[in-house]
Each structure stands twice: as C-alpha cells, then as structure tokens.
Amino acid sequence: MKAYLGIDVGSVSTNIAVQNEAGEIIAGLYLRTRGRPVETIQAGLKEARKTLPKDLEIRGVGTTGSGRYLAGVMVGADVIKNEITAHAVAASHFVSDVKTILEIGGQDSKIIIIRDGIVTDFAMNTVCAAGTGSFLDQQASRLGIPITEFGVLALQSTNPVRIAGRCTVFAETDMIHKQQMGHSLKDIINGLCEALVRNYLNNVGKGKEILSPVIFQGGVAANDGIKAAFARALDMEILVPPRHDIIGAVGAALLAREELGIIKQPTKFKGFSITDLAYRTSSFECDGCPNACEIAEIYEQDRVIGRWGARCPKWDIVEE
C-alpha cells in the first residue's frame, strides 16, 4: 500500500494524517503539543506506525502549522505549506464547491474565502483569545464541565443570555454576574457560544463576503453549540467535514500527494526510525547586521539539520 503523510504542528495540538492514494484517511491522530513539539511529533509518528500495515510505503510528506519548518526538517518533508493553503485544500477535497471556511483552533481563528477553487481572501486572529478554543477550555474548566459536554448543554438552552464576548476578562466577569442573577448554566453556556461567534464575525469575518457552502473546521467544530450559533447568525447551513480536528494535516498530506504526483521524484521522508533519534533545539542572535535576527536551529543527534528566522542566506544549511 502506498500512502501520504501530513503533519500539522500548532501551539495547542499536533495532528497527523495518513492517506492512501485515493485520499482516504487510514490513520489520524490529534495530540496535545504541550510546549514540546519535537517529542510530540516523535510520539505521534510512533503511535501512527503501530496502526499502519507493515507493507505501507510513504510516498510523500507534507507539513503545516506554526511548527511546519521544525517538523519539515525533522521528518524530511517534501512540501512545507502555511495553514491557509492546507486548510483550503482539505476543505475543497471534502466539499468541492466550498466558498467559505470558518476555522477556530486552540490559539487562533481564521476565515478563508474561496471562489472557483481559488483562495481569494483570508483573515486571521492571532492576538485575542476571546475568539479561540482556549477561551472555551478555560471557561469549561472554571465551571467544572468537560469541554466535550459544552455543545450538548448549549443546545438544551431555551433562553440564552447575552454575554459580553469581546474580551476574555469581561466575558468571564459577565458570566459570573449572570450566574449570580440566577440564570441557568445551559443558558449561560449558550450565551457564551453566541458571544464567541459574534466576536468572530465582527473581527475575523468583518468585511468578508460569506457565501454558502460554508465549512466549519478546527478543533472547536466539535462543539455543536458553536456550530448552531454560526447557523443562526449567518442563516446558513454549516457543514463540518470528517476529521475536522486534524484538517490541517489532511491538507498537508493532500498537498504532498499533489506535489509528488507532478514531479515524479522519490520522497525525502527519513522514515519512522526518526522516532528513536535524539533531537534538541536552540537559538542565538546574529550580530552580523542591525537586523539582529534570532536564529532557531534544530540538532539531530549532534548535527544541525535546520535553521530558520534569518532575513538573509548567511545561516542557510547547504545540503551535501
């Protein structure tokens, strides 16, 4: 069997997808990064390997996410692409005529506008937690409710209350106030879902032409309360694709399949044996010019295999 591997390394989660040549997902993993991307990538590949057929051949590898360069040099990626491209490719794979992608992850959120199969516009929120999954996690923890039950409770609401959702601090204060007023927990949670959606549409989606079909993806798409709030706010059907939680990795695998199919070259993948190698990372500030670039580098065993962060080629690693 021949397959393609996609790895999406983010600040909250590291996702792995393995797809066969028909584009079907034969293995998928969602792992918490917990500030240790190198160890998480190794653990994920080791776990994925256990579920794959012994005769499986990885024909190509793609990486994406904020840690895409780190993952790319570790595993030997054939394609390294940003999240916008990976998410758009994956969404189009599941819904060929998709026009709008709503994506909410743990630490950021984004909207992608697609017309005729091409990304024509996008916007990202990377500075405010009020429109991200980490805010929901924080409130679920404070209320003592498993985050998996948030959406179920929200759908049971009969009279949602309005929560000030433009800032996490104000939202939490408002939620406490509403609790003290005697509003039910279900109504408060539903109000919180509507506040997050309102914040998303007023900031990330501001000025964007949102047309159907609309796909909702990212980890927060598992929350039926948020999905229902989007449907009410937009008055549109909201589609959630399979394995929405690892959609970036799915897109990376699809990009690798496309790339290797065009150039007809062997993969650069180093193999699953990298799970047993010792890696370490470090950084330093270059004093070669006034830019004072912070250079990050990764070592495999005792050999530097990758550097990034420079504005010039001074620290580039030339492959022998």
What are the DSSP calls for 243-287, one per residue? TGGGHHHHHHHHHHHHHHHHH--------GGGGGS-EEEEEEE--
What confidence tier does 307 reach under pLDDT thresholds 50, 70, 90?
confident
290 pLDDT more than 60: yes
Q: What is the mean pLDDT of residues 21-37?
A: 89
Higher pLDDT among residues 320 and 242, named by residue:
242
Read off the CATH number of the domain in which 115 is found: 3.30.420.40
The answer to whether residues 26 and 114 belong to one domain is: no
Residue 205 makes CB contacts below 8 A (sequence gap 6+) with 102, 111, 123
Residue 150 lies in a domain: yes
What confidence tier does 318 reach under pLDDT thresholds 50, 70, 90?
low
Domain that holds residue 113: 97-240
**Domains contained in the chain, number:** 3
> pLDDT (tens digit, 9 = 90+) per residue, 182-237?
788 888 888 888 888 888 888 888 899 999 999 999 888 888 999 999 999 999 99
The answer to whether residues 112 and 208 belong to one domain is: yes
Long-range CB contacts for residues 18-23, cutoff 8 Å, separation at least 24: 18/48, 18/52, 18/56, 18/58, 18/253, 19/250, 19/253, 19/254, 19/257, 21/59, 21/257, 23/93, 23/254, 23/257
- Residue 188 is classified by DSSP as H
- Name the pTM for this structure: 0.85
The answer to whether residues 185 and 231 belong to one domain is: yes
* C-alpha separations of 131 from 81, 208, 286 in Å: 24, 17, 36
The percentage of the chain sitting over the pLDDT mark of 90, rounded to a whole number, equals: 48
Residue 286 lies in a domain: yes
The answer to whether residues 169 and 291 belong to one domain is: no
- Candidates 31, 9, 39, 40; CA nearest to 280 is 39
Residue 320 lies in a domain: no
- Candidates 19, 152, 144; CA nearest to 94 is 19
Residue 113 lies in a domain: yes
Return d(Cα 203, Cα 229) in angstroms, integer: 16
Please state, rounded to an integer, the average pLDDT across all residues of the chain. Answer: 87
The DSSP result for 111-146, as a single string, is: EEEEETTEEEEEEEE-S-GGGSHHHHHHHHHHHT--
The answer to whether residues 109 and 233 belong to one domain is: yes
| Alpha helical stretches, state H, the chain | 37-51, 68-75, 83-94, 133-143, 150-155, 168-180, 185-203, 224-234, 247-263
Residue 310 lies in a domain: yes
> pLDDT (tens digit, 9 = 90+) per residue, 249-259?
999 999 999 98
Return d(Cα 241, Cα 101) in angstroms, integer: 11
The pLDDT score that the predictor gives to residue 14 is 93
The answer to whether residues 165 and 201 belong to one domain is: yes
